[in-house]
Structure 1
Amino acid sequence: MSRSDPTTLAETWRAARPAPAGVHVDSAACSRQSFATIDACAQHARHEAEVGGYVAAEAAAPVLDAGRAAVRALTGMPDAGVTFTTGSNHALDILLGDWTGERTVACLPGEFGPNLAIMARHGFDIRVLPVDEYGRLDVNAIGAALAHRPPALVHFTVLGSHSGVVQPVHDMALACRGHDIPLFVDAAQGFAHVDVANTGADAVYSSSRKWTAGPRGVGVLVTRAGVLSDATRERIGHVETNVGLHVGFSVALGEHMAVGPAAMQARLREVGAATRTALADVPGWRVREHHDEPSAITTLYPPPGVDPQVVRARLIDEHAIVTTYLGVERAPRELTRPALRVSPHVDVTDADLAAVAEALSAVTPG
């Protein structure tokens, strides 16, 4: 049986981690770290105590370089600069704070609410990209939209916080190149989950804690030469950082690369399809995504009068099942009512999904 076999992959991934205290189907919020990642963070902290923080940071350089190399491989940007950040919001703040051109940015209607706030704080006029009835970029209309009213910048979220609909980032990049418009890609949900390699983007950023299953409080910004000014690169190079988290993230990236990005993506597609199958018939709830949407994120709209925030709390308190409540503030230009998000990782079992479906039925009023 090969390492890429779904059963072997799932068993290996589960065995490499502490046992969950219940059913964890919340990877789009924060995945479960491995023993190796947890130990790497702790060992670095211990090394800091033994030899001093700066000496320990120098000793960690080979691990951090390996992490950066993995990021370049996953994004298909071999010559890019790789900067560790505190997370995705931090990366976007760096990019927009450094921007010196006209402050117009085009993004999808489903843009992440905190991203919109960062854009507004930096004085950007926000324009909306054309989409179809599912909220997916309309590839047939994007060329005309950019030609009619070209923005100075396109910010494109590969996979939203509120939806498992995968956006065609390669088509977006092709359109941007055709109109000479820079492209920044938010891959917070897409990185190590779907294909974000070789997009031709000028910048790609992500967090550690989601599909790479790294520690919280760290992310990464990948930029082509010339995207960031020398002054900004100098400034972020001297910001106080938690090197231990960077080490942990690098170890998590190494584990991901050892399994193989293609195998992980294939298994996550299977997980998404299995999840939608398991939850499709829960009374009153409606699955947003198509069954074969190539992501592991499933969005559930509740029956009338049912508060998904209350449902999430009851799933945790009564069934030890962790999901995500989606308030409309996550995508204020698209999400019209709250929802529930279910996002298992590669180790989820049919029994886990059956338990989620049964518990969801049990805690749904009526």
Structure 2
Amino acid sequence: MSLATAWRDARPAMAGVHLDSAACSRQTFAVIDAVARHSRHEAEVGGYVAAEAAEPVLEAGRAAVAALTGFSAADVVFTRSASHALDILLGDWRGPKTLACLPGEFGPNLVIMAQHGFAVRLLPVDDDGRLDVDAAARFLRADPAALVHFTPLGSHRGIVQPVAAIGAVCRDLGIPLIVDAAQAFAHLVCADIGADAVYTASRKWTAGPRGLGLLAARSGMVGESTLEWLGHTEVSTAAQVGLSIALGEHLAAGPARIRAGLAELGAMTRTVLAGVAGWQVVEPPDEPSAITTLSPPDGVDPQIVRDRLIAEHRIVTTYAGIGRAPREMTRPALRLAPHVDATDEDLEAFAAALVSVMATL
């Protein structure tokens, strides 16, 4: 059975076309059923007793994260979101508050950095927004930041960043590296990249329930008191169980196989959509990610187009406003992010729908 067929058969049928996994992937029947079973168990025996019974499943989830990041299971904790994980890391940092990141840094991350008093320095990039590794090494050597925060794959653009290369630079200079893998986890290689901490969200390429994050961090990046506090905060154990099941499904399907399928879909998407209805593909055709960003013709509002694609054609994409990357984006865009079950018919349907919507704007 092909990967696409297995992925599709494991899930409820989509009511339309789903090209939005960078926002939220579709959960499997197994994940949905696991969440429901745990919720029922809470009603039968009490929430805390049910949580104790679920610990082997959660430990398996942490072990899956360890396998995908190169950390140990003991280094992994569940958080409320990716943003919550970053808030924890920066809140526990006790060194100087200087931080280097890409110009395409996620807007909400910049807010969290400012809230914690960090002065942000921008790493040098090329015309595509990709890190210039040699220039970055010179930049950090001449004026070292206390931390480097690095996003291998952004929310606003499907450019794959050289995370292992910046990891080597940071190791050489003794600068801790925090990796925002919200879009990279279960999409690109995230293991053994030289990071001191990696964090991600539950709902994107892993196809877990919404409302969770994951954090893997080496000893000392998160304080013992914070870890103890996390163990006593209110959580959705049912969602953690569902995410653990989703992580197991990802490993069973084969991470390398999924990465190859996503890269192939990205290339196919950019080929099908190049120049359709006056929209321009931002990424190079062979960029090894599934994310494709479309820049609109002058005077066209991607928010309106996205809403009409849903209302009139039942096609789900993402509106990417400049707030996603306020130090790099100059205009809004439309983002497509198919998972491995997408077909060329789905992409052709999107192209036809885009032409239809543009004809009546």
Scaled to the shorter chain, the TM-score interval is over 0.9
Partner of 1:153: 147
Partner SS, residue 179 of structure 2: strand
Q: C-alpha displacement at 1:206, in angstroms?
A: 0.2
How many pairs does the alignment contain? 360
Partner SS, residue 7 of structure 2: helix
Q: In angstroms, what is the RMSD of aligned CA positions? A: 0.9
Q: 1:300 and 2:294 equivalent?
A: yes
Structure 2 contact 277–354 (Cα < 8 Å) conserved: no
Q: C-alpha displacement at 1:237, in angstroms?
A: 1.5
Query: Which of 316, 319, 340 matches 2:310?
Result: 316
Structure 1 contact 80–224 (Cα < 8 Å) conserved: no
Q: 1:24 and 2:18 equivalent?
A: yes
Alignment of 1:100-119 (within 5 A): 100-119=94-113
Alignment of 1:126-275 (within 5 A): 126-275=120-269
Deviations along 1:118-159, one digit per CA (max 9) or x if unpaired, are 000000000000101100000121110001111000000111
Partner of 2:46: 52
Q: C-alpha displacement at 1:80, in angstroms?
A: 5.0
Runs of 4+ in 1 over 6 A off after TM superposition: none
Which residues of structure 1 form unaligned runs of 5+?
none
Deviations along 1:78-111, one digit per CA (max 9) or x if unpaired, are 3651110111000000000111110000000000
Structure 1 residues 49 and 344: CA distance shift in structure 2, 3 A: same
Q: 1:43 and 2:37 equivalent?
A: yes
Structure 2 contact 302–333 (Cα < 8 Å) conserved: yes
Percent sequence identity over aligned pairs: 65
- Counterpart residue identity of residue 326, structure 1: A
In the aligned structure 2, how far is the partner of 1:130 from the partner of 1:278? 32
Query: Which of 29, 53, 63 matches 2:57?
Result: 63
Partner SS, residue 356 of structure 1: helix
In the aligned structure 2, how far is the partner of 1:76 from the partner of 1:302? 40
Q: C-alpha displacement at 1:27, in angstroms?
A: 0.3
In the aligned structure 1, how far is the partner of 2:70 from the partner of 2:356? 45
In the aligned structure 2, how far is the partner of 1:283 from the partner of 1:225? 52
Deviations along 1:171-197, one digit per CA (max 9) or x if unpaired, are 010000111000000000000001111
In the aligned structure 2, how far is the partner of 1:111 from the partner of 1:204? 15
Scaled by the length of structure 1, the TM-score of the pair is 0.97
- Counterpart residue identity of residue 266, structure 1: A
Scaled by the length of structure 2, the TM-score of the pair is 0.98
- Counterpart residue identity of residue 156, structure 1: F
Query: Which of 6, 26, 31 matches 1:12?
Result: 6
